[in-house]
Chains A and B, each alone.
Chain A
């Protein structure tokens, strides 16, 4: 039977390019794919925006990699050259820099919206879990990417992160040895950060994205809380939704391009490992973590650096399994929302205190 099928395929001469590439089946499925018309509208676009930002981050990162030299003596100059000497180099570096900032913001909003509308409710628990895992991988991108320009901010921020990593009981030293490759942050560390940033983490991200899309495909998009007729209208994915996404992609590219042109991405002074007077200030997304580390000192430091952040992460992943009822309406999930709001307010307060302490 199998042999017959193969023979039949061989007898039929492929005509279109898709057939020649044996992709005709997949293309047909995409062309006929019908999805909820509200999947990408002006009031529901965070997921699509994240995808657009991700594509931009990949493209801009790939362009910068052409000119980057991962060695302490040359890394800074290669970034400086790409930023200021190449045509549109500042726009591309800016898109990469502002892109990840915006990615984190939109990711937070995407998650918050999903939480409020109960998008993690059965049967979409693993859509949520895979989404949270994607969120957790973003800081790894930022941390590894920060060191690459080999400027003062990146170098000394890495020193702070390494010291926090070192404070983790039992595994701290091994982790530091693994990422740093030696007692100092030098060429080995830079090479490892570079490889992590451009190979391992992107592969992991693509894998997680694949899992995320797999669950969305299988479990469907989360509809409106109040189901009405409009929520049941479906449209073809291709070209309707795809074209909407292209418009969004174009808009975000133009906005980020304009921001990058007007405010070129920052590049500080070249790293000077002998200059211990440089005190890096925590960036906005890490202010609350920094405050936790400041609050818990000495023997308690493990609470600020590991136990509380780890607990919060575990809680975030476990949300669909803790709040497992099928009720999605926020008004009927008051306890869950009150607890989440309290946690969010505490984290926001810590961030504000951190901002006032370090930036004002």
Chain B
């Protein structure tokens, strides 16, 4: 009888080992892809230096330069945490120059001229509905139609079919960050005539500060208001210029004035800081906004996303990342 009990104990142990081994098999086995693990936190991070970020494991995401940045690389230290309601991303990357000019007006005492310079940006693309082969090819499958294609200019951003939808988060140092947001847009199919990049429902984006003949700015800071972050004039704080003689040489005015977003376009909140030659950007959003033009995050699922970095450059010159898998840790 004692022998029987021993045998039973051994069988139980083998079975228990088998179950533990089996539970280990829940991970998909295959080629490794970079993973960003979002740590679960009870209290949402209030800022860039919140202790909550210590809980998150950093993923150093490699970016490869395209077009005029070809041959160059960039590295973005990426972290993510989430609460029951929201998800937070923290990005940090080296950038020798803080670029927030975006063609701002400069007065030389006689006339207004656009300053040279663009802005720094980072964008993320998630899938709302599955985009064919996005999981393996990333932005290459959506954003970059071949040069010379009929819709190469308009259709540079978009998907192949209407059923494939992407959620594009676009943080812009000059055009969205001063308002405290990242631009919330989405991708649908391209056509011969039109690109597939659309703004989320609601209001937002930026407005151009210029007169009808485009020769000078139309708006200035309203009395009693203050310029927003990076010395940017928000559209909501602007008032029409009545007396241009009040300006003196060397004065500057924002050209692309960020608007305070509303509706689905106001889903992604942003905080940022530029110090010691590095940008640190925090983006946050509800896990599920309830909007059709946003990806709804289910913490039980994994999500693929890809990123692009723009260093004082337009859409054509960027650093692109490989696809990264976002997973939610318990």
Contact = CB atoms under 8 A, between A and B. Distances in A.
Contacts of B15: 105-106, 109
Nearest to A266: B28
A259 B22 CA distance: 10
Contact of A109 (B14, B25, B26, B33): B14
A18 interface: no
Contact of B26 (A152, A153, A264): A264
Contacts of B31: 152, 277-279
B27 A266 contact: yes
Contacts of A101: 22, 25
Given A105-B15, A109-B14, A109-B15, A284 B28 contact: no
Nearest to A100: B22
Contacts of B18: 102, 105-106, 109
Interface in B108-129: none
Contact of B29 (A102, A105, A153): A153
Interface in A162-191: none
Contact of B136 (A97, A275, A284): A275
A43 B30 contact: no
Contact of A153 (B4, B11, B30, B137): B30
A283 B29 contact: yes
Contacts of B25: 101, 266, 283-284
Interface string A105-121: 11001000100000000
A255 B16 CA distance: 12
Interface string B301-323: 10010000000000000000000
A109 B11 contact: yes
Interface residues of A, number: 44
A44 B301 CA distance: 39
B19 interface: yes
Interface in A138-160: 151-153, 156
B23 A263 contact: yes
B62 to A, nearest CB: 16
Given A105-B15, A113-B11, A278-B136, A263 B26 contact: yes
B22 A105 contact: yes
B30 A152 contact: yes
Interface in A266-314: 266-270, 272, 274-275, 277-284
B298 A270 contact: no
Contact of A265 (B5, B26, B130, B304): B26
Given A43-B7, A90-B300, A274-B133, A259 B28 contact: no
A43 B135 contact: no
Contacts of B137: 272, 275
Contacts of A282: 29
B22 A98 contact: yes
Contacts of B19: 102, 105, 255, 259
Contacts, number: 97
Given A43-B7, A43-B8, A272-B133, A280 B26 contact: no
A343 to B, nearest CB: 18
A279 B22 contact: no
A269 B304 contact: yes
B15 to A, nearest CB: 7
B21 interface: yes
Interface in B272-301: 298, 300-301
B30 A268 contact: yes
A279 B30 contact: yes
A224 B7 CA distance: 12
A127 to B, nearest CB: 20
Contact of A280 (B5, B21, B29, B33): B29
A154 to B, nearest CB: 10
Contacts of A281: 29-30
Contacts of A44: 8
A331 to B, nearest CB: 12
B163 to A, nearest CB: 9
Contacts of B133: 270, 272, 274-275
Nearest to B302: A267
A34 interface: no
A323 interface: no
Given A80-B130, A109-B18, A152-B30, 6 more contacts: A105-B19, A266-B26, A268-B28, A269-B135, A270-B135, A277-B31
26 contacts: A43-B8, A76-B130, A80-B130, A84-B298, A84-B300, A97-B26, A102-B18, A102-B19, A106-B18, A109-B15, A113-B11, A151-B28, A153-B28, A156-B30, A224-B4, A264-B26, A267-B28, A270-B132, A270-B135, A272-B137, A275-B133, A277-B136, A279-B30, A281-B29, A282-B29, A359-B29
Interface of B: 4-5, 7-8, 11, 14-15, 18-19, 21-23, 25-31, 33, 130, 132-133, 135-137, 298, 300-301, 304
